[in-house]
Structure 1
Amino acid sequence: MHIVVMGAGVVGITTAWFLQQQGHQVTVVDRQAQAGLETSYANGGQISVCHAEPWANPSAPLKILKWLFQPEAPLLYRPRLDPYQWRWGLSFLTQCTSARAAHNIRQMVNLGTYSRSQLQALRKELDLDYDHLEKGILHFYTSQQEFDAAMEPARIMRELGCDRQVIDADRAVELEPALKDVRQRIAGATYTADDESGDARKFTQALARRCAEAGVEFRYGTEVLGFDKAGDRILDVQTLTEGRHQVLRADSYVLCLGSFSAVLARRLGLFLNIYPAKGYSITVPVKNPDAAFQVSLTDDEYKLVYSRLGDRIRVAGTAELNGYTRNLDFIRCRAIVRRAAEILPGAGHWDQAEYWTGLRPTTPSNVPYIGKSHFHNLYLNTGHGTLGWTHSCGSAAALADIVAGRTPELDFTFTGL
């Protein structure tokens, strides 16, 4: 059948690929000029399966209160006269129990493990080049209290099959010598050898080219305005291309528009509890290859992730709940540069940082919407938050199974099932 995929980020493009491989005629619609130019453009780069801890946990409410008036805080909530922001915030608080956090970890790890295997198979099949490294992720803690608090999530992840090793500072420096200058500040670390890193934008654009070669149609520069519906079916998608209004008809539709999925869904009377969490990143050229790291890093105190992408370094993190604005806050940008230069002084040309911000489509639980909506021919693959890159291939493969009427091969609570 003919399927329209709305969105050409990493989730939309992987969805298009897996649907096309199952024999469907696929059209991808995106307002940008090419794939991967919004939230997939400059994210942290980690395929973080075994460090996928939800933001909502028992310690989160007090941290958010402490950070409320700190402009450089890792998670900054800026209250607005926005009922969707407040509803999201209240739902977030309900997810902050130990039981809910444990449940959400299981959901995220199960999806992530499956997704990583799908990514690896796809990479092998298509020989995709996206500056990927299979060196693992090392999560280091400069606070003994935070390190102690990490033991329970690490235990749950090991129960779920993740080889998340708890290690001391000496072992951390042995695994990644670039940390030697801050060895005395490290209270402890966890390491997962199976995790990976890579450039999500390069991957997305490479896979988009393969999609086009396989027959997927792309309508770039095309904004989705709304839908026509009848009963429980979507009749068409209303679009705008270079000032020209058009109607796009298909048999089924998949919503992969990240944070904007919630806005569009409301026009159908659907409520998706997704709110944008504005994240920041910097990208700098490598200065000294020997001082630059190979193992992808997570700095727990500042909630930053570090990925080596060929001759570039990407440092990303922080979250700002402040509506749909994408203006750069240079206080937060400079804080990332300052911390990165402090931890890895000789690694990169920190004075040449390229700043970026994007809107992560975040649910209160950090668990995405994947599956069928209330409409018979509208499917959802959205709300992946900080883990769109990690969960993209698995989400897409699972959704393609759902469209085909098959049960996906993983333990996950799918939407509408």
Structure 2
Amino acid sequence: MGEEVGDASLEIRQVDTSSATINILSAEYDPTEPLINSNEKWVEEHEVCRVVGTSSLWRATFNTVALLLGTGMLALPYAVILGGWSALALLAFFAIMFCYTGSLLGQCMDQNPLLTTYQEIAGSALGLRGRILAGVLFYTEGLGALVCFLISVGDNLARIFPGVNSHLPAWVQFSPSMTLASLALLIISPTVLFRDLSDVAFLSFGGIVTSLVVVGAVAWSGSTVVGFKQPIPFMNLGNWRFILGLYAYGYAGHPIVPNIYSSMRDPTKFRAMLILSFTITTVIFSVLALLGASMFGKETLSQITLNIPRDLTAATIALWTTVLTPLTKFPLAIASIATELERFLPFDSNSTLHYVSSYTMRLAILGFVLAVTISFPNFGSTVNFIGASMTITTCIILPCVIDLVLHWKTISKVRMMVNIVFLAVGMCFAFAGTLSSGKV
């Protein structure tokens, strides 16, 4: 809605986050125009205010850790076996890079209160093309994550229900894991049709709890039955290129970082929150990686839950947790993608044709995810590919480019060198990891 106040035309835009509603006042501002040209002066000349959120430091930390902990952590013990326990230094290096580039996004929002999303930040530096690129990366990575979720669901269900194909018609040619993944997707398909996300928002709650349940189940299995006796190599440097995407995928989440920034009561604590969040996450990742690798050694699979002896209660808990948690993410993830695509529908938003098209689109996205999953059913290779090709681009390369474009005249030489180094490293990691992803 708009309101004339003096000579300025003010527009109120509303952004919903997990803990607050933020109102941004703008006056004929186009975030797709490069900020380095005229918009920086525009921001200085107009009184622009951001109504901050209500999240404390600790609540924002909880939300960020919940964002980072996910299915990707299941592959970390496998990564340690491939690269050696010294490869945990590489994991820590990824944490530092991702934490730093996340803070760059926060600094962009500090200097321009009109920016509220990852796409707007990219657009402010690179124009409309940057905004489109950021959107494409975001939604492509989101679809890739759903593929990883579904592969994990199928593999873990096959562990719970072995021999399921023996009870199905002979014409079913899928593997047991893909058969069960298809059935699981069919069961949850009605939930992706919800248009009011508040109806399914509760499904995303508890990400930290469920992730810690998996870590606890692995630790319990090792301490009671399996033991921690398997040797872990010190270093397999030649294999490090195979684990770049696995590590990167674990820290994916930068497109949501601006929402967390906006939700904070005191945004000046944003950097401290990121440091705390990435520290906690890296500790959890490292513990799970070392526990799993020392339990199963060279027999470690790309999902540590598949290694736990099936007759243990801890295995049942871990397997079902690993199945149910990803399935709860489908409604919100598909809704976020479909909502963007619905803007291009040529029908009135309240018309029957719009609703029918919307439901068809959501089911089509679900079908696309299933088709890709069936075509590429290897969990480790898929995670590595998405992490190397998309996550590194979204979370390392693009933020460094944005900061260099927007602030190259004002930042210190140290910050400029860090940006250039991380940009070069990110490009090398993305190239090497993507080429090696099929061999994981």
TM-score range, shorter chain: under 0.3
- TM score, norm. by length of structure 2: 0.26
Compare the two structures and name the one with the higher helix fraction.
Answer: 2
Structure with higher Rg: it is 2
